[in-house]
Structure 1
Amino acid sequence: MEPNAERTGDGDGVSGDIDDTDDTGDAVRPFEVSVADDDVADLRRRLAATRWPDDPPADDWSYGTDPEYLRTLCEYWRESYDWDAFERRLNRFDQYVTTIDGQRVHCYHVRSPEPDATPLLLSHGWPGSIVEFLDVLGPLSDPAAHGGDPDDAFHVVAPSLPGYGFSGPTTGAGWDARRIAEAFAELMTRLGYDRFLAQGGDWGALVTAILGAEYPDRVAAIHTNLLFLRPSAFEDPMGMLDEEGRADYEATKAAREGETGYQAIQSTKPQTLAYGLTDSPAGLAAWVVEKFRTWSDCDGDVESRFDRERLLDNLGVYWLTGTVNASMRLYYETTFEDVVPDSVDVPTGHARYPVEVSRTPRAWAEAVYDIEHWVEMPEGGHFAAMEVPDLFVEDLRTFFGNYRGAGTDAGGTPHA
């Protein structure tokens, strides 16, 4: 770790070896994570000085994040977490930054050793980050090195959503899901890909759907963990559903009644919430980790699914870049009625993980998407690439195997 300036919350808490002399052109510049010693010291000081609330009446997670678990996690973060190892994990694969529409965009660009590999764009969501994909970048890009078939190789591009992590906070209004999709399409052009495949979960699923709807000449097929659509656009949405579809609808309705309080505040008053989450690492941990526990297939034990270091890797990206506020603004900026596509005509694959909070009835999905692959996964939840990476990778290989060679280099060799 290198000494650096005091953390300012402007996205510079994690620095990189970046050439920022051209921050308005289309240059694609190498990036490497480098954590400042002063930032680590500041984090540890804040964790040590946490002002804890009183304990809830119930000794569990029913009122929100369990205080005993959170104290244990924060103590580990303060005393035992290895920031040098954090740097090594995040710098294992090649990273780049570029400026698109006035916004810095960070990405992993992992070129496969297989020359005929197919370009694949991976998009994450909230409260995840680029960390979600660390365990799948290798198997997807170099299957032969992980016991797989070289024919299944992808050139993988995994960006940080604008406003998230190393893409830095968004600096102006209007960065909704459609604008992000447009930025990602431009990113793929700059990296040399005129045609590609796309996959996403959470916000990334909506970005992926928009890419499929708006760029059918460039996107050969899409795969998502969620399916965004507007049932109100159907003449008789409930009449379209069979018994299984109604069960999906009721399960999703029940989940939303108990699990969307975060969404209500992030879509209406994100700035008010951001003061506490930006100032308190314990507060940030409570807000984020509770979702990893509730939305995963962990049976109440979050660390049975997610390694503690990986949970803290994800928190560290938010904390050191000061981007939790900008990440939440995506909820404020995006009006679903304006951006959810009415029709996605490219071939679509959909994986339904059993603990995913939203289960779209298939009849509704087939009315909007060109569904060619629909699979009920045996385990997993909302953060599939991070939670069940082997299943995630295998399902992408299965579906996208029909579209090998769909991507070609635009003008030859990619820029990065």
Structure 2
Amino acid sequence: MSRLTSDVQAFEAHATDADLDDLRARLAAARLPEAETVHRAGPGSRRWEQGVPLADLVDLVNHWRTEYDWRSFETRLNQIGQFRTTIDDLGIHFLHRRSTRADATPLVLTHGWPGSIAEFIHVIDELADPKDADAPAFHVVVPSLPGFGYSDKPAATGWGVERIAAAWVELMGRLGYGTFVAHGGDWGGNVTAVLGGRFPEHVLGIHTTLALPPPGLTTEGLTAVERQCADETRDFWRHHRAYAKQQATRPQTIGYSLVDSPVGLLAWLLDKFAEWSDTDDGPFETISRDSILDDVTLYWLTRTGASAARIYYESPDSLDPELRVDVPSAITMYPGDIESRTPRAWAQERYRQIVRWTLPESGGHFPSLEVPEYFVKDLQEGLATVLAAGGSR
């Protein structure tokens, strides 16, 4: 049974009209570069070789300025239930949706970058009170990472994934959830791995879309398909990580543009929604414009472009090389994800009790937005397998 304490306070999001007017004025006055110098004869991924194409950005900026409705998203956050609490001297914001089912299991969902709590608002209700009475139900908690959204911005270094995971255990305890399951992708996948590896007395098991193996593994013994997957992952880390290097080494420098220019922020985040989703000609094939703008506007109104980028500075190596996860683990490798190329044999070197390994036919880095119905079903089935494997203590 959950309980609200004096340490947990209700919270409501409400941007001022002045902030929204300022956003529209900045969008109207934006100075844009010339068009990209790449092949633009027709649809296809080549249009994105130099980054966000000018035509796509202009269209989205116009929609943001004239049609997008922030108040609708804001209302949805308030309907779900928002709260804040202070942990380790830092204010942490979170969504909390309790299930009506007596057999519900507490679940913490952790987002990553360039995502936010906006990734999960369309799936929370179905996870809490599924239409299928035979599906598992969850008391859903969705925290905003430190420096993201309505959580506080750390004023000093030290808020890496290990400290965040410890804070999540404290948060769940304050809500009355002494044991729980966890899911995450991207940075949320790192936090989820730490939860399972460091806090097995609290974490019943995990579901993740990110399975980072320990370093130093070779391709010896892998199948041809697994070697190709490993090569693709290495190619991403070698040739597509400029954004991460920038944020891991100079987050303050890029932060000025991200906090001062809504168009700069939009382009920086949209580039990743495009490259990391399972599409051929941009993210809008599977993710709505408004869903992306919900995420970007949250960054803009909370002025968290710089503070969110600093998670790369705080955890440059992502995970402790020695970390091992012994709790039951369900892992889903979406085909269009940037880092879903980890061979199972490699993943098992860190995740020691993989009870479910799933390879969907579609979906990318943002499955809760790209394939929400599949995401919910897979998460339900994965966590049911985790609990059946001994995580229901």
Q: Same fold (TM over 0.5)?
A: yes
The equivalent residue for 1:7 is: none
Question: How far did residue 340 of structure 1 move?
Answer: 4.8
1:388 equivalent in alignment to 2:350: no
Greater RCO (Cα-Cα under 8 Å, separation 6 or more):
1
Which residue in 2 is equivalent to 1:245? Answer: 226
Aligned partners of 1:227 and 1:357: how far apart in 2? 12
Does the 8 Å contact 1:168/1:321 carry over to 2? no
From 60, 69, 85, the equivalent of 2:72 is: 85
**Aligned equivalents of 2:135, 2:52: Cα separation in 1:** 44
CA distance in 2 between counterparts of 1:155 and 1:406 reads 16
1:353 aligns with: 334
Conserved? CA contact 2:110–2:142, under 8 Å: yes
Aligned residue in 2 for 1:365: 347
Q: Which residue of 1 aligns with 2:86?
A: 99
Structure 1 gaps of 5+ residues are 1-24, 409-416
Partner residue of 2:154 out of 157, 160, 170: 170
SS at match of 2:155: coil
**What's the secondary structure of 2:206's corresponding residue?**
strand
**Contact 2:213-2:349 within 8 A present in 1 as well:** no
- CA distance in 2 between counterparts of 1:388 and 1:256 reads 25
Cα deviation for residue 49 of structure 1 reads 1.2
What is the match of residue 259 of structure 1? 240
Point out where structure 2 has 5 or more consecutive residues left out of the alignment.
41-46
The equivalent residue for 1:217 is 201
* 1:153 to partner: Cα distance: 0.7
CA 1:341/1:99 → structure 2, altered by over 3 Å: closer, same or farther? farther
What aligned pairs does 1:8-407 form with structure 2 within 5 A after superposition?
Answer: 27-58=7-38, 59=40, 60-144=47-131, 148-149=132-133, 151-232=135-216, 234=217, 237-336=218-317, 339-358=320-339, 359-369=341-351, 370-402=353-385, 403=387
Please tell me the residue identity of whatever aligns with 1:91.
N
**Structure 2 CA distance for aligned equivalents of residues 193 and 340 of structure 1:** 29
Q: SS at the partner of 2:71?
A: helix
Deviations 1:365-396 (A, max 9, x none): 11221211101011100011121111111111
Query: CA distance change for structure 1 residues 299 and 337 in 2, over 3 Å: closer, same or farther?
Result: closer
Q: Is the 8 A contact 2:190 2:318 kept in 1?
A: no
CA distance in 2, matches of 1:266, 1:287: 12
User: Against the structure 1 CA distance between its residues 295 and 153, is the aligned structure 2 distance closer, same or farther, given a 3 Å change threshold?
Assistant: same
2:107 is paired with a residue whose SS is strand
How big is the alpha-carbon RMSD for the aligned residues of Structure 1 and Structure 2?
1.7
Query: Normalised by the size of structure 1, how large is the TM-score?
Result: 0.87
Query: Which residue type is aligned with residue 363 of structure 2?
Result: G
The CA deviation at 1:341 is 4.7
Q: Is the 2:189–2:209 Cα contact (8 Å) retained in structure 1? A: yes
Name the aligned partner's letter for residue 347 of structure 1: P
Q: What is the DSSP-based 3-state SS (H/G/I as helix, E as strand, rest coil) of the residue aligned with 2:113? A: coil
* d(CA) in 2 for partners of 1:98, 1:92: 19
Distance 2:296 2:198 in 1: 33
- Whichever residue aligns with residue 172 of structure 1, its letter is A
String of CA shifts for 1:92-135, please: whole Å, max 9, x gaps.
20111101011111111110000220111100000000000011
- Note the C-alpha offset of 1:172: 1.5
Q: Aligned to 2:213, what secondary structure does the other structure show?
A: coil
SS at match of 1:368: coil
- Residue 37 to residue 337, structure 1, CA distance change in 2 (3 Å): closer
